[in-house]
């Protein structure tokens, strides 16, 4: 989609979504470090996906973002509040900015859908019942659940429960929405509908989205940015153009859903075993690009087209802002990533980037990647994968 420079510029600072800046966050339970020194910025209004093998602490990360779990160190800044350190009352206030779709939907089994979805409004606001009703019915319609108000969670399908959880996550008009595996347990067609719903929602409300998913199709087509948790650290976080065609062994293994590679069934593999597996894979012809393995069979280019909002809906403001953000960062990327990003930019933005009109970003200095996991060892020593803030942003 080509967007004029003017369209990018008309976005006023007041209606920009909210940024979530995580800095050197570490979380352990007892002596078990879940992840260490995680640094990333969720750019306002953009959609980011967090990938990672089971048990790497993705749900723990989401719960830390909303202050349900206390990190050992580091900060989570949203609207100048540090979630990791603020008072209980400030946390209660700030939490209202978030909408969360928990991994299991987390609906109250004895309440019908209407009451479930109305719950945050009744709990956190003083709205009259007629206002509550209007909002609840509006959100239910948004997620395609009209008419199901009286049903109990046990009487509806798993897909409907997910959508009810999503409607409940939306009632407080959140500025940040966290989705914990919204697509797990759904059939592929429903996943496709849900993905479209997520993109449409983002276009309509311009909130900042973070989605934890194991669905490679979702990872390939929905987000602006992707991150990968692996071996107790954030192995990478960056634009889709950087991650999706990545040659990094752990990324390739994950996106292709294959056994060969550094990710093991329950524990880490040793280097010799990984090397032997990779050699055998190469001997069989390897995988030509990401997304062709058993779990990633969606074919096509290494950077597949991104889902766009349904016709008739507004354009995604986050996607527009992102174009300028990545145009400013072009010099930080490797040539292939830079080329893929250039291909997604409108001509006038490209011309600006090439003419040196943008102040160089002071981001990660081009390093969006943690060191090769093997070089880090299993101590969980920190490294960062930052997505630099947009230069001129207020
Ligand atoms: N409240 C808790 N107390 C102690 N350990 C916990 C707690 N919550 C999570 N853990 C541990 O933290 C680790 C990460 O768990 P988490 O649920 O975040 O994984 P995940 O990446 O979301 O996995 P999945 O993809 O299977 O959902 C696990 O080893 C888990 O046992
Ligand atoms: Mg989880």
- Token pair for 288: 């030509």
Which tokens go with 15? 């209606």
Contact 54 CB / ligand 1 (< 6 Å): yes
Identify the nearest ligand to the CA of 179 by its number: 2
Distance 266 CA to ligand 1 centre (A): 14
* 271 vs 253: CA distance, rounded Å: 15
Q: Is 266 in the pocket of ligand 1 (CB under 6 A)?
A: no
Q: Residue 45: CB partners within 8 Å, gap ≥ 6?
A: 16, 17, 202, 206, 207, 208, 316, 317, 318, 321
Residue with tokens 């990938």: 51
55 lines ligand 1 (CB under 6 A): yes
pLDDT at 8: 32
**Cα(55) to centroid of ligand 1, in Å?**
5
- DSSP letter (8 states) at residue 232: T
| Helix, strand or coil, per DSSP, at residue 134 | helix
Pick left, alpha or beta for residue 242 (phi over 0 → left; psi -120 to 50 → alpha; otherwise beta).
Answer: alpha
CA of 212 to the centre of ligand 2 (A): 8
What tokens does 393 get? 């942003």
Of 305, 312, 340, 330, nearest to 388 by C-alpha is 330
**4 in Cβ contact with 50 (< 8 Å):** no
And the tokens for 27? Answer: 């979380």
Kindly state if the Cβ of 104 falls inside 6 Å of ligand 1: no
CA distances from 370 to 90, 188, 214, 223, 233 (A): 33, 33, 21, 21, 8
Coil/strand/helix, residue 369: strand
In angstroms, the Cα distances linking 363 to 84, 170, 192 are 23, 32, 34
The β-bridge partners of 32 are 29
29 CB near ligand 1 (under 6 Å): yes
- Record the pTM: 0.83
Instruction: Give the pair of three-digit tokens for residue 107.
Output: 């609906």
Gap between the Cα atoms of 186 and 131, Å rounded: 32
Number of other CB atoms surrounding residue 95 within 10 Å: 17
Q: Go through the domains of the chain in sequence order and give each one's CATH number.
A: 17-97+174-376 (3.40.50.300)
Secondary structure of 266-308 in HEC code, one letter for each residue: CCCCCHHHHHHHHHHHHHCCCCCCCCCCCCCCCCCCCCCCCCC
Tens of pLDDT, residue by residue, the chain (394 residues): 333 333 333 333 345 579 999 999 999 999 999 999 999 999 999 999 999 988 899 999 999 999 999 999 999 999 999 999 999 999 988 988 999 998 767 899 999 999 999 999 998 889 999 999 999 999 998 888 989 999 999 998 888 888 899 899 999 989 999 999 988 877 888 888 889 999 999 999 999 999 999 888 899 999 999 999 988 889 889 999 988 888 778 787 788 777 777 777 666 677 777 788 778 777 777 666 666 555 554 444 578 889 999 999 999 999 999 999 999 888 888 888 899 999 989 998 898 888 877 776 665 433 344 444 343 333 333 333 433 333 333 3
Judged by DSSP in three states, 243 sits in helix
Residue 60 alpha carbon, nearest atom of ligand 1: 18
Complete edge-to-edge strand list for the sheet that includes strand 208-212: 98-101, 176-180, 208-212, 47-51, 225-230, 233-239
β-strands 176-180, 208-212 pairing? parallel
Q: Please compute, for residue 173, the number of CA atoms within 13 A of its CA located in the half-sphere on the CB side.
A: 7
Does ligand 1 come within 6 angstroms of the Cβ of 232? no
CA atoms within 13 A on the CB side of 193: 12
Task: State the Cα–Cα distance between residues 184 and 106, nearest whole angstrom.
Answer: 14
Alpha helices in the chain (DSSP H): 5-9, 58-65, 88-95, 113-124, 129-142, 158-170, 188-205, 216-221, 240-243, 249-256, 271-283, 317-329, 335-344, 347-354, 373-376
Q: What share of the chain is helix, strand, coil (3-state, %, to 5)?
A: 40, 15, 45
Distances (CA, A) of 141 to 2, 40, 135, 254: 31, 34, 10, 35
């Amino acid at each position: 989609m080509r967007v004029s420079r003017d369209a990018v510029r008309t976005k006023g600072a007041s209606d920009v979504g909210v940024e979530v800046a995580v800095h050197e966050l570490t979380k352990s339970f007892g002596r078990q470090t879940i992840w260490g020194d995680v640094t990333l910025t969720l750019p306002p209004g953009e959609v980011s996906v967090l990938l990672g093998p089971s048990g790497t602490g993705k749900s723990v990360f989401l719960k830390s973002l909303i202050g349900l779990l206390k990190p050992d160190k580091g900060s989570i800044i949203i609207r100048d509040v540090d979630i990791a350190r603020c008072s209980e009352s400030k946390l209660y206030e700030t939490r209202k900015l978030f909408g969360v779709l928990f991994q299991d939907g987390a609906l109250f089994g004895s309440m019908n859908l209407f009451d479930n979805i109305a719950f945050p409004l009744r709990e956190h606001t003083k709205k009259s019942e007629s206002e509550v009703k209007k909002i609840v019915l509006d959100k239910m319609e948004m997620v395609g659940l009209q008419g199901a108000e009286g049903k109990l969670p046990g009487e509806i399908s798993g897909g409907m429960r997910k959508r009810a959880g999503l409607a409940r996550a939306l009632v407080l008009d959140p500025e940040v929405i966290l989705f914990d595996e919204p697509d797990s347990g759904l059939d592929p067609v429903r996943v496709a509908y849900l993905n479209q719903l997520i993109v449409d929602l983002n276009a309509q409300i311009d909130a900042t989205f973070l989605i934890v998913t194991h669905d490679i199709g979702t990872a390939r087509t929905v987000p602006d940015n992707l991150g990968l948790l692996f071996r107790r650290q954030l192995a990478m976080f960056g634009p889709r153009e950087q991650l999706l065609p990545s040659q990094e062994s752990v990324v390739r293994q994950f996106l292709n859903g294959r056994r060969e590679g550094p990710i093991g069934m329950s524990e880490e593999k040793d280097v010799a075993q990984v090397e032997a597996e990779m050699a055998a894979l190469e001997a069989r012809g390897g995988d030509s690009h990401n997304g062709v393995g058993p779990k990633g069979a969606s074919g096509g280019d290494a950077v597949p087209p991104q889902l766009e909002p349904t016709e008739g809906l507004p354009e995604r403001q986050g996607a527009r802002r992102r174009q300028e953000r990545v145009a400013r960062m072009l010099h930080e990327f490797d040539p292939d990533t830079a080329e893929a990003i250039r291909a997604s930019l409108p001509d006038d933005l490209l011309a600006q980037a090439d003419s040196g009109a943008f102040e160089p970003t002071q981001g990660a200095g081009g390093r969006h990647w943690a060191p090769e996991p093997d070089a880090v060892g299993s101590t969980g020593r920190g490294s960062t994968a930052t997505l630099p803030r947009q230069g001129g942003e207020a």
